[in-house]
Chains A and B, each alone.
Chain A
C-alpha cells in the first residue's frame, strides 16, 4: 500500500540574490524564512517525502536563479523535487527537469493554454506534471456553494469551477493535482476538508492538499476525512513548529500508512 506523503513547500522570492524562501498569509503579507537549498536539505533530513519549490516572483530574468536553486538542492537531497511558478512552455519545463526536478507544477499557464498539459505529459510522462489549482469558495446566484479557480497567485479569478477544471486536467494528462484553499491558506485553521474531499472524489489522480495546515491533527483530518493522498505545508516547517517526522509519527500512531 502506498504511504501518505508529507511535503514541505518552499515559496521562493528570486529577486533576492541566490533566492529566499518566503511565506505569505492568505496570498499576501510576506515573511522571510531562509535560503532555499539549505531549508530543503534540512527538511529532507527531517523526513520529508518530497520537496516543493514555488517561484513566486516568476519572471523571465529570475529563471536562471531557480535553475541554480534546483541544481544546488539536487546535489544533496535524494527525494522527489517538484518545481513550479512561471513555467509556460515545454522548453521551460525541459530546463527545470534538466536541472534536477522530477515534477513541475502548472497553474496560470495551464488555464491559459490547457494543451500545454498534454504537450508536457507527452514528452516527460503524466507523472511529471502536477496541476496546481488555487480554489476560492463562492456562492452562486441560486445560493449554491462552489469553488472558483484563481490564477496569477490569487490575483485574478477565472470563473472556472474547480471540480470541472480538476476533471479536465485529469483527462488532459496531469499526474497529480496540488489543491490550495485560498480561504484557509496561512490561517493554520486546518485544511479545507470539504474542498479536498470533493475534488478527490471527482478524479482518480492523487490529490495534494494545501492551505491551512495547523496542528498535527489537521494533517490527520485531510489525509483521512479529506481523502487526500498527500499534504503540503510551509510555515509550520519554516518556523520550526513540527518536522515531517513528528507529523508522521502522529499519523502512524493513528493508523495512517506513512514512511518513517
Chain B
C-alpha cells in the first residue's frame, strides 16, 4: 500500500512542531511545507494555527496557499484545521475585518463577551453533537480538551457543527462536513483525547 502523503501547512507564523511531534508519536509521517504545489498534491492536509486571524488569512493568500487548500478540499481529500485553522474556514473574523477567510463555510469569528476571562485558557468539555463523525470515533462525550482563544466561530450552518463547548455561551468547538474536519481546541495539546482524534484523522 502506498503511504498517504500528509502535509502540515506552514503559513509562516504558527508553531508546527507540536503537531508534527504528535503525528510522529502516532507513527504517522508528515511533511511541513509552505509550497502551494506541495500542498495541492497532498493526500491529506493539516492546517494548525496560532496567532491572529489577519496573519493566517493574509499569509495564506500571499503564499497562494488558499487556492491550494481549496483544491485539496474540492478533491475530497481529508482536511484538518486546528484553532485558527478552523476559524479561517469561515468568511471572516471580528478580530480583523479587512482580511477575509477561505469562505468554505458561512460564518464568522466573534469575541467572547460578558463575564468570562478572555482569552479562554485551559481545559474545557467537548459536547459531541455529531456522534457519527469519524473524527469522534471512540471519543467519550464531554471529554476535556485544551483551549486557548479569544474568538469563537458563530455559524448558522448547524449541520456542520460536530461539537459544542460552553464558555459563557455554547459555541461551536468542532466542525465535521464530508472530508472537512476542524477543532477549536488544540488536538496536539489535549493529551490522550487529542491523540485519539488525530489518530482517527490519520486513519481516514
Contact = CB atoms under 8 A, between A and B. Distances in A.
* Chains A and B bind each other: yes
Interface of A: 1-3, 5, 44, 49, 74-76, 78-80, 97-100, 102, 124-127, 175-176, 204-206, 229-230, 259
Nearest to B144: A259
Secondary structure call for the A interface: loop
Given A98-B15, A98-B17, A80 B146 contact: yes
Contact of A100 (B21, B52, B121, B191): B21
A83 to B, nearest CB: 13
A226 to B, nearest CB: 17
Size class of the contact patch on chain B: 20 to 34
A127 B189 contact: no
B123 A259 contact: yes
Interface of B: 15, 17-18, 21-22, 24-25, 50-52, 117, 119-125, 144, 146, 148, 166-167, 188-191, 194-195
B148 A78 contact: no
A125 B50 contact: yes
Contact of B18 (A100, A127, A176, A206): A100
B15 A78 contact: no
A75 B144 CA distance: 21
A2 B165 CA distance: 10
Contact of B52 (A79, A125, A206): A125
Contact of B25 (A49, A75, A98, A204): A75
A175 B191 contact: no
Contacts of A125: 50-52, 119
B119 A175 contact: yes
Given A205-B117, A206-B117, A78 B194 contact: yes
A80 B17 contact: no
